[in-house]
A = this chain, B = another copy of it.
């Protein structure tokens, strides 16, 4: 039988990923701030905990996927979490946070004899259901090997190794989300201009996404724009992550002309 896994965070991505783990035969202890989100998992045999530390099995793996840096830190610093995880324990962190937060948390885990490993998730909820997530990953080699089957079972179709130093995979995630926002806003500016000039946006995006821009991101967002759907819906993720990108760039004095503009555009979006 597979080992017991702790899973914290049953949001848009967390819930389908936890569902995938159960389907793959992993027994789960789950925690979520809003307990009702766990109902479908409990019906499939998962155990619900009342606090984060209660999902942790000493020396085993606990996965977390929460909204932001503050939420992640509050889980890690919650009563008993690190103490219970202990030597040999792995915290598999799937959230998108600042690389500096990841590094700080890795150091705190090390002080408790356990390992923090990062594997932030690229993919929409539908991609989790379809096992089509892309996952950059960084942390100590041995821990990466232990979590590899788990990442695949959660829905990863490709896992990319960014070395042993935590922070690198998180940085790649911020870069990806910045490039997605940039591509989305650029397409929107272009297709609005086409439409106002009497040219069908759908014909434009059909040509470009079957030639130079034949990539999943351009196809999916191009289609949304041509169909007059909002670019990112009600999601606050693009604003949050472009903000994290910008901050991470500015900390090393790297120029941010486009990310700063996107941050302003996203801030003023409805």
Query: Do the beta carbons of A193 and B208 come within 8 Å of each other?
Result: no
Query: Do the beta carbons of B196 and A171 come within 8 Å of each other?
Result: no
Query: Do the beta carbons of A196 and B253 come within 8 Å of each other?
Result: yes
Closest chain B CB from A247 CB (angstroms):
11
* Secondary structure class of chain A's binding surface, majority of residues: helix
Determine if A197 is an interface residue (Cβ-Cβ < 8 Å). yes
Closest chain B CB from A75 CB (angstroms):
25
Query: Do the beta carbons of A252 and B197 come within 8 Å of each other?
Result: yes
Given A136-B207, A215-B213, A217-B213, check contact A175 B196 (CB 8 Å): no
Interface residues of A in 183-229 (CB under 8 A from B): 183, 185-187, 189-194, 196-199, 203-204, 207-208, 210-218
Determine if A149 is an interface residue (Cβ-Cβ < 8 Å). no
Determine if A261 is an interface residue (Cβ-Cβ < 8 Å). yes
Given A185-B258, A189-B259, A255-B189, check contact A216 B212 (CB 8 Å): yes
Query: Do the beta carbons of B183 and A183 come within 8 Å of each other?
Result: yes
Query: Do the beta carbons of A199 and B212 come within 8 Å of each other?
Result: no
Q: How far is the CA of A212 from the CA of B133 in the complex (A)?
A: 10
Closest chain B CB from A41 CB (angstroms):
28
Query: Do the beta carbons of B172 and A207 come within 8 Å of each other?
Result: yes
| Contact partner, A216, options B214, B253, B265, Cβ 8 Å | B214
Query: Do the beta carbons of A160 and B207 come within 8 Å of each other?
Result: yes
Query: Do the beta carbons of A182 and B182 come within 8 Å of each other?
Result: yes
Which residues of A are interface residues toward B (Cβ below 8 A)? Answer: 99, 122, 134, 136, 158, 160, 162, 165, 167-168, 171-172, 175-176, 178-180, 182-183, 185-187, 189-194, 196-199, 203-204, 207-208, 210-218, 245, 248-249, 252-259, 261, 265
